[in-house]
Amino acid sequence: MKTSDVKKMTVTQLEKELLNLKKEKFNLRFQKINSQIQNTARIRIVRRSIAKILTFVKQKQKES
């Protein structure tokens, strides 16, 4: 997820996206355990996207 996309989103949209990414991370972890994962780099991308979203959520909550 691009930083410019995250900046444009509202807090509620960010929270929904965060929930989706956490679910995806959970599923990827199970796929990794069962050796069914196709793209192992996706785990890293999801983790970093979660971190970006959390950072912007906290910034936007401080502002308001």
Query: Domains of the chain: which residue ranges?
Result: 3-59
The torsion defined by the Cα of 45, 50, 56 and 57, in degrees rounded to 10, comes to: 160
Q: Report the share of the chain in percent with pLDDT over 70.
A: 100
Confidence of residue 33 (pLDDT cuts 50, 70, 90): very high
Q: Say if CB 8 and CB 53 are below 8 A apart.
A: no
The stretch 22-46 carries a mean pLDDT of 95
pLDDT of residue 2: 87
Domain 3-59 has CATH 1.10.3470: no
Number of H helices, E strands in the chain: 3, 0
Average model confidence (pLDDT) across the chain: 94
CA distances 60 to 15, 16, 46, 53, 64, Å, are: 12, 15, 21, 11, 7
Given a cut of 90, whether residue 52 has pLDDT beyond it is yes
Q: Give CA–CA dist 62/19, Å, rounded.
A: 21
